[in-house]
Structure 1
Amino acid sequence: MKRILLILAVFAALFATRAVAADLSAFADPQQLPAWAKPMYFDILTWLDENSQDHMSPVGMFMAADWVVKGVMLSLAFASVVTWVIFIGKMASLMLARLSMTLNYRRLDKLATLSLGDQPRLRGVVGRMAKAARKERDASETVKATNVGGIKERVSAVLVRIEAGSARRMSSGTSILANIGSTAPFVGLFGTVWGIMNSFISIAESQTTNLAVVAPGIAEALLATAIGLVAAIPAVIFYNVITRSLSGYKVMLGDASSLVERTLSRDLDSAAPAVQQTQSEPAMPHNAAITAAE
């Protein structure tokens, strides 16, 4: 579903940007804009007009390029924006998640028990782990389960699933960076090949090999490769940075799960000391029990 939405967003951005490039006046009526936006609007129009007249500027090369090359450039520019948005959002999410986990880890370590009592509730992943462990402990008490090892095994299985789910949710979206980093150079190369092909076609039609005629088309084609590299290089760097941060986050998840298991074990040991002592004492012989009763 996310990929479908991303593809639709790409086509929408291509259509909107092409409409702006074709006729900016049809895209927005200056008279309907707020007063503070009108100077910005006319400044953008002036900047586009000045740069579009210069055929060697990036805007001029974009406006003079073929529609296929324009589509490649716009898709790569959109991919670059998506890369930065994912990186900023994912790093902010990781920072907040690690901060929350650190605070709740210290709180649980200080409480040294899973019982609620009058203590403040745990939040985030640590809170979900503690709630799951407490729920399994209460369910075992309801069915009168006396096997402490079985309780710990069931809680450990639940904590493993919570840990895996949290890591999976936090890593969602990083595959988009990997895809952009691996495909953007080739998409840019496709635009370059298409632009150079058009340049050679124009050479054949004009029947001249003058460099002044050939250079603009080749420059427009090479601009697609440059934009592809601009999109791919940050995507690869950001993917590696996020992957290292996710590795540290998974280690913190393991530490939190271990703390919940230790706290549960402590609660179980302190809740039933008499039962364990009774089970460890040897049974009194029948004759000895009669003598003691007499």
Structure 2
Amino acid sequence: MTLPPFLAAALPPASTGPITLSPLTLFMEADIVVKIVMLGLLAASVWTWSIIVSFSGRLKTLRKGCEEYERAFWQAKDMDAFVKERGKEDLPSAQLLSAAIGEWRRSTALRGMQAEGTRDRLATAMGSALAGTIDRISDRLNILATVGSVAPFVGLFGTVWGIMRSFTAIAGEQNTSLAVVAPGIAEALFATAIGLFAAIPAVIAYNRLSHGVNRLEARLQRFSDGLYTTFSRELEA
């Protein structure tokens, strides 16, 4: 049956097929600027996960190594023998002990050594060694913080650009139907989704790994306090 012309004009246009919203399709049909944004965010996500995996493993290894090293040190009967045997190990606790022993030997070799000055120099040397060690350990955490704070805005830039492109398509075709604007808006929102996909793990990992670094720093500080107490008793003796 043929509809009257005024009824036929009121009906929506026939669909030419389902609109595919798969990630690959959204990427391939996106504007070149939005594609660059998406690729940059995906690269940042891969970089973030590589840092998370490597940093987590390294932090766990350092924590266990320091625990074993400090236990062996406090159980050792001869400090000089222990330093000679294990003083060069690549562990934060070993570096802290090496700094303390080095300053102790230099200070006690001075003529007219003063106990108070030696204590001050020991505290300064161990504090500097501890700060340098923590700085080296947490070096790549700033990358996670940067990705976590910047990635959503980069994705938002891609979204704004994609929506501008959709409005340009509306103006060019002089058609405001959803079929015209939906693909462009979907591509734009996909850029924001990728930005969040990169940012959320980075923020969570930054908080968790920072907590792990703080725990390691607290452990090293306790070890430093123990060394300071030991050397202080030696000075009094």
Task: Give the TM-score band, short-chain normalised.
Answer: 0.7 to 0.9
Q: Which runs of 5+ in 1 are unaligned?
A: 1-53, 271-294
Please say if residues 161 and 188 of structure 2, whose CA atoms lie closer than 8 Å, have aligned partners that are also in contact. yes
Equivalents in 1 of 2:110, 2:134: separation in Å? Answer: 33
Please say if residues 192 and 221 of structure 1, whose CA atoms lie closer than 8 Å, have aligned partners that are also in contact. yes
Equivalents in 2 of 1:172, 1:154: separation in Å? Answer: 27
Structure 2 SS opposite 1:120: helix
Check 1:113–1:259 CA distance in 2 against 1; reply closer, same or farther (3 A cut).
farther
| TM-score between both structures, scaled by the size of structure 2 | 0.84
- The aligned residue for residue 221 of structure 2 is 254
- The aligned residue for residue 68 of structure 2 is 103
Please say if residues 159 and 188 of structure 2, whose CA atoms lie closer than 8 Å, have aligned partners that are also in contact. yes
How big is each residue's C-alpha offset from its partner over 1:142-197, in whole Å with a ceiling of 9 and x where there is no partner? 32344222222211110000010111111111111111111111111111111111
Check 1:112–1:130 CA distance in 2 against 1; reply closer, same or farther (3 A cut).
farther
| TM-score between both structures, scaled by the size of structure 1 | 0.69
Check 1:109–1:117 CA distance in 2 against 1; reply closer, same or farther (3 A cut).
closer
Please say if residues 112 and 263 of structure 1, whose CA atoms lie closer than 8 Å, have aligned partners that are also in contact. no
Equivalents in 1 of 2:79, 2:236: separation in Å? Answer: 13
Amino acid at match of 1:76: L
- The aligned residue for residue 212 of structure 2 is 245
Deviating beyond 4 angstroms after TM superposition, the runs of 4 or more aligned structure 1 residues are none
Q: Which runs of 5+ in 2 are unaligned?
A: 1-18
* Cα shift at 1:112: 5.4
Aligned length: 217
- The aligned residue for residue 39 of structure 2 is 74
How big is each residue's C-alpha offset from its partner over 1:106-160, in whole Å with a ceiling of 9 and x where there is no partner? 1111125532279732432222222222222322333234422222221111000
Equivalents in 2 of 1:63, 1:75: separation in Å? Answer: 15
Aligned: 1:184 with 2:137: no
Please say if residues 55 and 64 of structure 1, whose CA atoms lie closer than 8 Å, have aligned partners that are also in contact. no
* Cα shift at 1:55: 4.3
CA RMSD after TM alignment = 2.0
From 44, 50, 59, the equivalent of 2:24 is 59
Amino acid at match of 2:172: E
**Higher RCO (CA < 8 A, seq sep 6+):** 2
Q: Which structure's CA Rg is the greater one?
A: 1
- The aligned residue for residue 204 of structure 1 is 171
Equivalents in 1 of 2:214, 2:98: separation in Å? Answer: 25
For residues 73-92 of structure 1, the aligned pairs below 5 Å read 73-92=38-57
* Cα shift at 1:269: 4.4
Structure 1 SS opposite 2:80: coil
How big is each residue's C-alpha offset from its partner over 1:59-96, in whole Å with a ceiling of 9 and x where there is no partner? 01101100000011111111111111111121112111
For residues 131-280 of structure 1, the aligned pairs below 5 Å read 131-270=98-237
* Cα shift at 1:262: 2.4
Amino acid at match of 2:204: I
Amino acid at match of 2:190: L
Please say if residues 76 and 188 of structure 1, whose CA atoms lie closer than 8 Å, have aligned partners that are also in contact. yes
Structure 2 SS opposite 1:182: helix
Of all paired residues, the percent bearing the same amino acid is 42
How big is each residue's C-alpha offset from its partner over 1:233-272, in whole Å with a ceiling of 9 and x where there is no partner? 11111111011111101101101111221232344445xx
Amino acid at match of 2:86: R
Equivalents in 1 of 2:69, 2:119: separation in Å? Answer: 22
How big is each residue's C-alpha offset from its partner over 1:21-78, in whole Å with a ceiling of 9 and x where there is no partner? xxxxxxxxxxxxxxxxxxxxxxxxxxxxxxxxx8421101101100000011111111
Amino acid at match of 2:50: V
Please say if residues 121 and 127 of structure 1, whose CA atoms lie closer than 8 Å, have aligned partners that are also in contact. yes
Deviates more, 1:164-173 or 1:109-118: 109-118
